[in-house]
Amino acid sequence: MCGIVGILGREPVADALVDALKRLEYRGYDSAGIATLEGGALERRRAEGKLVNLEARLAKEPMSGHAGIGHTRWATHGAPTETNAHPHMTDKVSVVHNGIIENFRDLRRELEGQGATFTTETDTEVIVHLITHNLDNGMAPAEAAAAALERLEGAYALAIIFKGEEDLMIGAREGSPLAIGFGEGAMFLGSDAIALAPLTDTITYLEDGDWAEITRNSLKIRDRAGAEVERAVQKSIASALLVDKGNHRHFMAKEIHEQPEVISHTLAHYIDFATGRIRLPDLPFDFKDLKRFSISACGTAYYAGLVAKYWFERFARLPVEIDIASEFRYRDVPLEADGLALFISQSGETADTLAALRYCREQSQHIISIVNVRESTIARESDAILPILAGPEIGVASTKAFTCQLAALAVLAIAAGRARGHISEQDEQELVSALIELPRHISAVLRDESDYVDLAHDLAKARDILYLGRGVNYPIALEGALKLKEISYIHAEGYAAGELKHGPIALIDEDVPVIVIAPKDGLYDKTLSNVQEVAARGGRIIMISDMDATDFGWDVQKLITIPSSHLFTQPLIAAVPVQLIAYHTAVVMGTDVDQPRNLAKSVTVE
């Protein structure tokens, strides 16, 4: 998703703006630009593609202004061209925007009727012309911006600078996150604390409907109603976090390898290792009062929820209704008051998940969320959060956040089982012991990747790849397929193995690799029968299992052996080979592993 930065500095800001944009690269983008005030006049440099192109442009045409704004654009309205790249501007005002202005067509028609000339296909340009129109009518800059905001419908985070106003920047938030950072005689704006990390660790977050008038030495925030408000100033930990690739070629590889450690951190947060008991933060409901509950999330986070559904139903005998947040939010779901709604989101900013949360809030649900970013909007709008301790996840393909989400969901499911009297203290200790063994098992999976490299060369030739699993491993099949397609661009689908004969088996031939996740669990024999059907049709079978190849009764093209473990933790272990398969295949394909095309890390638009 688009990234925004703004700086009112004490020295030239162009380099610092580009550096801050680099820290937002992980969100995904396809063009970038900055605008600064050069002797009071607005100037900009923009470029298609990666930030190196913008840097090259700036090397040829440097900028020296002390006030400026910057943007990485993930195209929504109009192609990813230089013309459509932000900042957008007239000679009076320059704007960067993250979000979608839903009523831009009406506004554009109206403004064109008043003589405005549009030069881009973007929705953002209407903001520039609205403000310019207000300035032309004699309004002061802050007033002109505020009046423009009143006309906008949709989602936005905005940073705005004005001709001749060296000490003024306007920030505004509706739906898309925006942080304001405090420096010494300098102020900063950014889409998140990571963007601002080296500049400041003192941050305040705007709430929806807020807009801020920022100078180097002052900050005035007004809410939707125009009342001046105070927002908490907090110390961000983002600056303390090392955001580099370490010895790895890609962030994704680094993040895959961090899993033993970050899962340990996550478990340590919820488990008393001395007693083998779970300790959760105070929750605003009691599991034993629930008849059912709902989970909403998107993408990988949704698949984590899908695994957890099996756990909650099995260990706590608690029915779970799980939905993709973009469906849930419009489904008009009937919910009994005082129910529980659980949301899962790495970023905590996913627009659909947030909308589903707000729907549940209106339906008087208790809201809990599992998030990685504790300062995020979803975290702040929840009654309680269960943080995962994955650290910043930069690769667009979610890996360590997924397994940490599963770890947090696992402890929650055990706690629910205990609270509802379906598992004993001894069962709890057994399940907790299984969780504690996880980092060791995952380290074992990560010890040698040579098998994956060989396999990747073969998979890279495929046009379609199927992933099969049953029970808790069915969502892992879905996750494996998602991971592969998002970074290698090879078409992949995940299926419940038992569903194969209801249609997908028609796809099987010798050119379609079938990756089967089949650890020895209660459904192992059933899965094997399904795979037998694939083998009988000449399918190329790759097994991920803790069993020996000789156990299967047919030729496997490749066996990826995972450690034998407690049934409970198998999906977390099986998740790692599917990540490695996707990663190495993408490396062979030569794709942009960390920032795959068309994707964004934090999906803050619908």
Let me know: does 20 contact 69? Beta carbons within 8 Å: no
**Diameter of the chain by CA atoms?**
82
- The phi, psi pair for 308, rounded to 5°, reads -65, -30
Active site residue 2: yes
Q: Which is nearer to ligand M6R, 76 or 429 (CB)?
A: 76
Q: Which is nearer to ligand M6R, 570 or 595 (CB)?
A: 595
Give min distance, CB of 226 to ligand M6R, in A. 32
Q: Which of 22, 254, 309, 601 is catalytic?
A: 601
Active site residue 601: yes
The dihedral over CA atoms of 551, 557, 563, 566, expressed in degrees to the nearest 10, equals -60
Q: Which is nearer to ligand M6R, 396 or 438 (CB)?
A: 396
Give min distance, CB of 603 to ligand M6R, in A. 5
- Residue type present at position 364: S
Q: Which is nearer to ligand M6R, 214 or 253 (CB)?
A: 253
Give min distance, CB of 346 to ligand M6R, in A. 3
- The phi, psi pair for 211, rounded to 5°, reads -135, 150
Give min distance, CB of 573 to ligand M6R, in A. 19
Of 95, 78, 74, which is closest to residue 144 (Cα–Cα)? 95
C-alpha to C-alpha distance for 129 and 136, rounded to whole angstroms: 10
User: DSSP letters of 283-327?
Assistant: -SS-GGG-S-EEEEE-HHHHHHHHHHHHHHHHHS---EEEEEHHH
Q: Which is nearer to ligand M6R, 139 or 599 (CB)?
A: 599
3-state per-residue secondary structure call for 447-469: CCCHHHHHHHHHHCCCCEEEEEE
Q: Which is nearer to ligand M6R, 213 or 393 (CB)?
A: 393
Chain positions contacting ligand M6R, by CB under 6 A? 298-301, 345-347, 350, 353, 396-398, 482, 486, 599, 602-603
Of 3, 37, 45, 6, which is closest to residue 169 (Cα–Cα)? 6
Give min distance, CB of 396 to ligand M6R, in A. 5
Number of neighbouring beta carbons within 10 Å of residue 471:
23
Q: Which of 2, 298, 360, 404 is catalytic?
A: 2
Which three-class secondary structure state does DSSP give residue 588? Answer: helix
Number of neighbouring beta carbons within 10 Å of residue 419:
18
Give min distance, CB of 3 to ligand M6R, in A. 15
For the annotated catalytic residues, the residue numbers are 2, 601
